[in-house]
Structure 1
Amino acid sequence: MLNKPIWALTASELCKKTKNNELSATEITVACLEQTKKVNPQLNAIVDDMSDEAIKRAESLDSEVAAGKPKGRLFGVPVTVKINVDQKGYATSNGVTALKNLIAKTNAPIVDHLMDAGAVFVGRTNTPEFSFRADTENPLYGRTNNPWGKHLSPGGSSGGASSAVMAGMCTLAHGNDIGGSLRFPSVATGAVTLKPGLGRVPAWNSSQTSERGILAQSMSVQGLITRSAYDLQLAMPEIIQSDLRDPFHVPMPWDTSHLSENSRKVALCFETPGFKTDPEIVKGLKIAADALSDVGFEIHEVTPPLLEETAKTGYSALLGEVQALLGEDIRRNGSEKIQMIFDEYFRQFEPYDGKKLLTAMANRTHYAREWSLFMDEYPLIISNLIPTSFFYPDRDSEGKAGVTEVLGAALWSYSMNFIGHPAGIVPTHIANTKAGPVPIGIQIIGKRWREDTVVAALIAIEEYCGTFYEKLWAKLGWLN
């Protein structure tokens, strides 16, 4: 007898039950689709319904097992895919009305890998226009809401993914991250995620009409949002498999235990240059430090190298590339709101061009080298993602102050995209504010190619703090 409804089980719990033949893929899929029917109308997280296809897929998986075929590592696990990634037969709209009929002819690598592992795709999730906001809303599908309440943005650009997974519509939610798009939504909803490092998860969209800019290629990564850090440990070995369509994929195994660390030191970083750290964020950082200290790490409060310069140089370079390669598309196909937001991005972060852009791209190696040397002594870093508690919906549309609070303060976010280091998010506690409850998540940064150590740290903190989806569901009365 199940202690929780089927839809409420984590991916790890589901896999244990399918391995023991306690649940079928069809039973799991039906349960998650029923939960989606109940909660998605209020949240608008899944915007492409895949119910019919999901049932057929689950029934096919069960039939194959009955015929003697072994179960994949993610057999029957319900998964969503973000609408900016190719999935055969579905539009890769990227939240842009002009792309609503851009139907993919093949799957992106991460979709194929999840399918090969036995996952069941139950829907496609919402993103802001061009997937370039820390909030999730677009003219094509509308606004996604945070399951904690409308006082909180769901984050972006993978806001549909985080809302879906935390509301029990799926157990693994695909997303991607070029400046924080996996991590913002995870902080916003109390979810867990890992932004993999450069080259770890193969990526390519056959629907694209030209190759992405070099900075987009080197800063953007594919990943997953989950309810538990253990689900990252389960699923990451599947999505890092090689795919020849991404020639710059790093074919390293997940189990890197043979790469011994020469230090148990952890850098605890409270400060964000130019911004005051909210007391609730300080509390979260201290909780994370206590959790890692309990499992044998040495915590050292230190200042990392060149954080502000790394972040601002990287983002100005990226926006220079965006302005040059996507600027016309944004003006032609973007809403008035997204154009206003981009105008403010460009005011706050000078879009580099010409020699300045080339110099910034060259200096990326300098910044990466400095961080690599620092992290040889401190293989893990505890930091914030943003130094304040999470913001309300549409805050980034409120001119200079709004963009500064949402994006300008996120130095610890896009700096990691520029230098290609893995970074994960895990919640530590809930802040009770006048507007309502606000989950507080902190960031763990790892050495290049050491996603495994980041996830191990996320698990240790989760063991110390507990998971937060059950707190959310208790608040909503879903498990009564």
Structure 2
Amino acid sequence: MTQSDIWRLSATELTTQTRAGDISVEAAVQSSIDRMQEANPALNAVVEDLSAEALERARTLDKARAAGAAPGPLHGVPVTIKINVDQAGHATSNGVTALKDLIAPADAPVVENLHKAGAVVIGRTNTPEFSFRADTDNPLHGRTYNPWGRHISPGGSSGGAGSAVMAGIGALGHGNDIGGSLRFPAAANGAVTVKPGLGRVPAWNPSQKAERGMLAQSMSVQGLITRSAEDLHLAMPTMIAADARDPFHVPLPWRGEEPEGPIKVAFTRNTHGYDLHPEVEAALLTARDALNDAGYVVEEVEPPNVFEAGRNGYRALMGEVYAMMKKDVDAAGSQTVRDIFEVYFQEFPPFMGDELLQMMAKRSHYAREWSLFQQDYPLVLTPFLPQPFFKPDRDTEGAEGVHEVLGCAVYSYAMNFMGLPAGCVPSRLAQLEQGPQPINVQIVSPRWREDMAVDACAAIEARVGRMHLPLWEMMDQG
């Protein structure tokens, strides 16, 4: 393999060679930087180029290995970091012009854990203002584009991460998820991710001036967007390493006990009144058949009420956002994002006062129902969205646009509200009138068992293929 092709390797393939000394870290990082310089101008996925410090770190890692230091599990893996998380010496702008000079005094736990494992940050990726859209555009850095074409939004809020990793810019893309911000970009770009459960990955920004609201703390999680499920198994044990700055982190190993007998999977096509698009149904059926073929026992059975848990959970979050965040959005946000927030509050009428407290309490009821259901069906295969991914700026088109983008995504934010892990994996490449488009499905796993969701993603991927391969063929053909 020539240096110009190293960027094509998965993180798992790359570490096999960097740890053995067959490929130097400098060569691996340089190849990814070259790819970034080739692909990023058309995508605007990476909005801060860290090539110089990445190459300096790569040489340091190579020297340390030559001197006898043991390489870390992610030795030499090029990664990107989302601009809403602290990286020492760089702005945590969150896509907001007023925060463009908010320089982080230290690394957030996820950045520190990646560094300790030997990863190399090559750039920082774009997010919408306040990281609160399912699309990625902002006045500070501009719009991010989807490598599949400009007919599809790149998703959000980790849209830069999803676009970058699928275009071959870094093997791992850091992102986070309060209502779907890892899974929306994975679904938009045909990538693989797992939204970790509550307390799984330590989180905190040293630059923050105050603690986040209780629902923001309990619904938001840090994670990775990758091109393959195996890379999640490689990298997530690094991400979940304990950090005392997150006092509610749960220090459990990545792998849990091996289940006895075949794993039962509940399969649902219920979209709770929203039309199920034929391509989404086809993706679900493909995923179902792949899991059956892999030895899972898949039964079409209805899980506890996702619509109620999701809608009430997001209305509760909107109540907290209205009380704690609206003032900042009004003061520092663009007119576009202010208008979107007004429609959010219409789509999800905020719970306030006693009602908000009651719904926060009812969160345990919804989580308990799912916990009991998952005693019989540990995994649940669901749609992610009921229709193929939406076009850019669809959420700027009033109530109808916000409803298509976020209103119908109950399978997404229900899992944030209940704190459950949820994998997201492509199972179909749809050929639509506007162009080719990947279709992802979601796999919910029991609390603390992200590994089971990733195993199921890997089983589907093994039978349908990895979505970046046809994408790269398309990109190579111009």
**So what's the TM-score if we normalise by structure 1?**
0.98
Deviation, 1:288, is 0.7
Say yes or no: does 1:156 pair with 2:136: no
Aligned match of 1:397: 396
User: Conserved in 1, the CA contact under 8 Å of 2:255 and 2:449?
Assistant: no
Identity among equivalent pairs (%):
56
Instruction: State the alpha-carbon separation in 1 of the partners of residues 328 and 372 from structure 2.
Output: 40
| Moved >6 Å (runs of 4+) | none
Q: Which runs of 5+ in 2 are unaligned?
A: none
Instruction: State the alpha-carbon separation in 1 of the partners of residues 20 and 2 from structure 2.
Output: 13
Structure-to-structure mapping, 1:311-460, within 5 angstroms: 311-460=310-459
Instruction: State the alpha-carbon separation in 2 of the partners of residues 159 and 2 from structure 1.
Output: 30
Deviation, 1:19, is 2.6
Q: Per-residue CA shift, 1:423-463, capped at 9, x if unaligned?
A: 01111111111111011111111011110101110111110
Q: Per-residue CA shift, 1:283-303, capped at 9, x if unaligned?
A: 111111111101211111111
Instruction: State the alpha-carbon separation in 2 of the partners of residues 121 and 20 from structure 1.
Output: 21
Aligned match of 1:257: 257
CA distance 1:262–1:369, change in 2 (3 Å): farther
Aligned match of 1:276: 275
Q: Which amino acid aligns with 2:131?
A: S
User: Conserved in 2, the CA contact under 8 Å of 1:188 and 1:390?
Assistant: yes
Instruction: State the alpha-carbon separation in 1 of the partners of residues 257 and 263 from structure 2.
Output: 14
User: Conserved in 2, the CA contact under 8 Å of 1:153 and 1:394?
Assistant: yes
Instruction: State the alpha-carbon separation in 2 of the partners of residues 339 and 331 from structure 1.
Output: 6
Instruction: State the alpha-carbon separation in 1 of the partners of residues 87 and 403 from structure 2.
Output: 35
Aligned match of 1:132: 132
Comparing 300-309 with 328-337, greater Cα deviation is found at 300-309
User: Conserved in 2, the CA contact under 8 Å of 1:44 and 1:143?
Assistant: yes
User: Conserved in 1, the CA contact under 8 Å of 2:266 and 2:377?
Assistant: yes
Instruction: State the alpha-carbon separation in 1 of the partners of residues 295 and 162 from structure 2.
Output: 31
Q: Which runs of 5+ in 1 are unaligned?
A: none
Deviation, 1:470, is 1.0
Instruction: State the alpha-carbon separation in 2 of the partners of residues 413 and 25 from structure 1.
Output: 37
Instruction: State the alpha-carbon separation in 2 of the partners of residues 434 and 3 from structure 1.
Output: 38
Q: How many residues are matched?
A: 478
User: Conserved in 1, the CA contact under 8 Å of 2:423 and 2:444?
Assistant: yes
Aligned match of 2:232: 232
Deviation, 1:131, is 0.3
Q: Which amino acid aligns with 1:183?
A: R
Q: Which amino acid aligns with 1:453?
A: M
Deviation, 1:257, is 2.2
Aligned with 1:286: secondary structure? helix
> What RMSD, in angstroms, separates the aligned Cα atoms of the two structures?
1.2
Deviation, 1:476, is 1.5
Structure-to-structure mapping, 1:174-253, within 5 angstroms: 174-253=174-253
Structure-to-structure mapping, 1:31-180, within 5 angstroms: 31-180=31-180
Q: Per-residue CA shift, 1:350-393, capped at 9, x if unaligned?
A: 11110000000000000000011111111001111110001100
Deviation, 1:262, is 7.2
Deviation, 1:20, is 2.7
Q: Per-residue CA shift, 1:182-235, capped at 9, x if unaligned?
A: 000000001000100000000000111100000000000000000010000100
**So what's the TM-score if we normalise by structure 2?**
0.98
User: Conserved in 2, the CA contact under 8 Å of 1:79 and 1:172?
Assistant: yes
Comparing 4-13 with 405-414, greater Cα deviation is found at 4-13
Instruction: State the alpha-carbon separation in 2 of the partners of residues 88 and 326 from structure 1.
Output: 25
Instruction: State the alpha-carbon separation in 2 of the partners of residues 4 and 144 from structure 1.
Output: 25
